[in-house]
Chains A and B, each alone.
Chain A
Amino acid sequence: MSEKTMDPSISRRSFLKQGAASAVTIAATALPTVASAGESQQLATLIDIEKCVGCGACVEACREKNQENYPRVKKPFPKMIPKRAKPEDWSDKQEIIHRLTPYNWLFVQTTRVMVDGRERELNIPRRCMHCINPPCVKLCPWGAARQFPNGISRIDPDICLGGSKCKAVCPWKIPQRQSGVGLYLDIMPSMAGNGVMYKCDRCYDRIEKGGEPACIEACPEGVQTLGPRDEIIKLARERARQINGFVYGDTENGGTNTIYLSPVPFETLNKSMEQGPGRPDFEPKKDAMAHGNNLVTAMAIAPFAGAMAALGKFYMFTKKSDTKEG
């Protein structure tokens, strides 16, 4: 089955059925569904910080578009065992727009910095960075998160158990949890899982139909430019040269599909702006998946090394036997 024809979401019932059935059929079905897409196929967004006036039209559009995707919570929450696993509830705080929450996947960070000797207010739209090799997708233990060949990463709310590992491994701690919703309620609500993780899916459904993400469409200032990653990176660096500016996201965490262009160094931005839960930073980020992936060559060589050792031992053994016999 080709990557494009797959239904991007799975119902809860089919997930449970799949768990048992797929174990048998995996060997036959797995290989054809593996798709390798180079970075060139990925779509990236350039966010020109200088252009943003902080009107919040993008936030409003995002909330309107995703209203149907926001969690519909069942209360009371299950009693958690052990008590350390506390439910997270944003359902009564849906109006919050100054940080990331399960009900707010995009917000505008505002800060004041010195630009060319005068103080200026800068507004920065923040959401998921959509990494080239997203740890949230790759390290999800249930396969609840996936990456599309166009670089969009998405958490499937029908599969996610809300363990929050995606948030723990995300360099920017983007995904946000809402308890009282999702598959865990049907399995072991007290013992395993704690809700569903939510984050920007860059309007994958709109893009699939040839459209634009709601935030881009609604922006009156043209802050965001969407295009093939190679072109966006080229454009960002060119503009940075023109304005004597700085680029963020091109190399962070091995490269992302959200590229920021700023008139001041990101170090300065990072120091001046408010950070904390739901408010990501602009720190330099090393490639989080690199350590593991660097061992892949060793994995490929290991069986041959073991085989050579056995052959060596066999050779020594036969040589010794020959000497004894001789």
Chain B
Amino acid sequence: MGVKKIVSTVLTFLPGITIAMLAVTGFAQMPIFKRYYIADIPGFGWLAKFYVTHYMHYLLAVVLLAFLGHRSVSWFLGRKRGAGTVWTTKIKRLILAGLVATGMMLVVRNLPGYHFSPGVLVALDLTHLGLTVLLMVTGVVSVVVSRIIPDQNNKSV
């Protein structure tokens, strides 16, 4: 396998892996992985370290945002237009937009000197979590749909 092929394969799976890891590190912000013994599995101990998963979540967000910037311009220039336009993909894009928007607000919240009123704080956290669950459900539905109707161009993002 040539270097070009390896790079191409990595780039194909990178968005999906990034989103999956964002979900994992996002869920790790809740104190559940230690409680439910998942962090006890060898190699998974980092899931119980809040600062590690928080930093990883931010790093992965950088990768996702770069990818989204790339995808948006590619779409605009027509290189990716027409790909992934089935209804599940449209829903996933909407959810992703919501996740990015709420995520960005949470990033701002985490900066020194920024205060959110209690209602907004709760709403932001729950919306970000709810959208993640929704994205996962839509992902599963998307796979099922693509199996039932295989000729649909059902791209992951």
Contacts and interface: CB of A to CB of B under 8 A. Distances in A.
Given A82-B35, A298-B62, A306-B69, A22 B113 contact: no
Contacts of B126: 19, 22-23, 142-143
Contacts of A27: 101
Contacts of A144: 122
A36 B130 contact: no
A259 to B, nearest CB: 17
Nearest to B57: A292
A163 B125 CA distance: 15
A289 to B, nearest CB: 6
Contact of B115 (A10, A140, A147): A147
A270 B121 CA distance: 36
Interface string B102-118: 10110111111111111
Interface string B47-90: 00011001100110111011111111110010100000000000
A187 interface: no
Interface string A128-146: 0000110000111111101
A291 B34 CA distance: 23
A304 B77 CA distance: 15
A35 B29 CA distance: 24
Contact of B79 (A8, A168, A254, A314): A314
Interface in A83-101: 84-85
A142 B119 CA distance: 11
B70 A9 contact: no
Interface string A4-17: 00111110000100
Contacts of B6: none
Given A3-B117, A147-B115, A298-B62, A141 B30 contact: yes
B20 to A, nearest CB: 18
Interface in A25-42: 25-27, 29-30, 33-39
Nearest to A291: B55
B13 interface: no
Contact of B35 (A29, A35, A85): A85
B51 A291 contact: yes
B45 interface: no
B13 to A, nearest CB: 17
B118 A9 contact: yes
B37 A84 contact: yes
Contact of A302 (B69, B111, B115, B129): B69
**Chain B interface, DSSP helix/strand/loop, else mixed:** helix
Given A143-B121, A305-B69, A310 B51 contact: no
Given A18-B123, A314-B77, A314-B79, A168 B50 contact: yes
Interface residues of B, number: 56
Contact of A26 (B70, B118, B124): B124
A224 interface: no
B127 interface: yes
Interface in B11-44: 29-32, 34-37
Given A36-B113, A254-B112, A307-B73, A143 B62 contact: no
B149 interface: no
B120 interface: yes
A289 B101 contact: no
A243 interface: no
A36 B115 CA distance: 6
A309 interface: yes
A38 B123 contact: no
A281 interface: no
Contacts of A18: 119, 122-123
Contacts of A133: 110-113
Nearest to A317: B79
A25 B126 CA distance: 12
B57 to A, nearest CB: 8
Given A34-B114, A292-B54, A302-B69, A142 B79 contact: no
Given A29-B123, A30-B120, A306-B73, 13 more contacts: A22-B123, A36-B113, A82-B37, A84-B34, A139-B50, A141-B30, A291-B51, A292-B110, A296-B107, A299-B61, A299-B104, A306-B70, A310-B73
Top 8 nearest A-B pairs (CB, nearest first) are A306-B69, A22-B123, A303-B69, A143-B121, A306-B70, A310-B73, A133-B112, A306-B66
